[in-house]
Amino acid sequence: MNFSKTAIAMGSAMGVRELVKTIEGVHWEDMLGAFGLSRRRTSSAQVLPAAALITVSAAVGAGIALLLAPSSGSKLRARLSDGIDDAKHRLSDTISHYESSTPAHRHSIS
């Protein structure tokens, strides 16, 4: 029984585990940054966060305006319910329009 060979083998196995953990933590940006490079941002990557922020801000502003508008509770609940129903219908229409305009991709095996 050679203790030194066993110790070296165990040390190598632990070293490999640590190496795998280190490699898993490396991202493309890290590798590109080592060479002074970076990914090019697409126009959608720049526009989408701004559009999302505007949409969320508009929704929050509309909600606050509804809550602060002088009306009775029952009228406010009715308006909110109608608005939510309208938004559901518009979303459903948009989804069905998108699904009908997108061609179905069929894969055939030759």
Instruction: Judge whether 106 lies within some domain.
Output: no
User: What tens digit of pLDDT does each residue of 13-30 get?
Assistant: 677 777 677 777 777 777
| Range(s) of the domain holding residue 45 | 12-100
Residues 6+ apart with CB under 8 A from 29: 38, 39
Model confidence at 60: pLDDT above 70? yes
Predicted TM-score (pTM) of this structure: 0.34
Instruction: Judge whether 47 lies within some domain.
Output: yes
Q: Among the residues of 25-42, which ranges form H helices?
A: 28-34
What pLDDT, on a 0 to 100 scale, did the predictor assign at position 8? 66
Query: Are 80 and 87 a contacting pair, CB within 8 Å?
Result: no
Instruction: Judge whether 17 lies within some domain.
Output: yes
Instruction: Judge whether 1 lies within some domain.
Output: no
Instruction: Judge whether 82 lies within some domain.
Output: yes
Model confidence at 108: pLDDT above 80? no
Band the pLDDT of 102: cuts 50, 70, 90: low
Band the pLDDT of 106: cuts 50, 70, 90: very low
Model confidence at 6: pLDDT above 80? no
Instruction: Judge whether 5 lies within some domain.
Output: no
Instruction: Judge whether 107 lies within some domain.
Output: no
Instruction: Judge whether 23 lies within some domain.
Output: yes
Nearest-angstrom CA–CA distance, 52 and 65 = 20
Higher pLDDT, 41 or 82: 82
Number of neighbours of residue 79 by Cβ within 10 angstroms: 13
Domain count for the chain, please give it: 1
Least confident of 12-26, 38-52, 66-80: 12-26
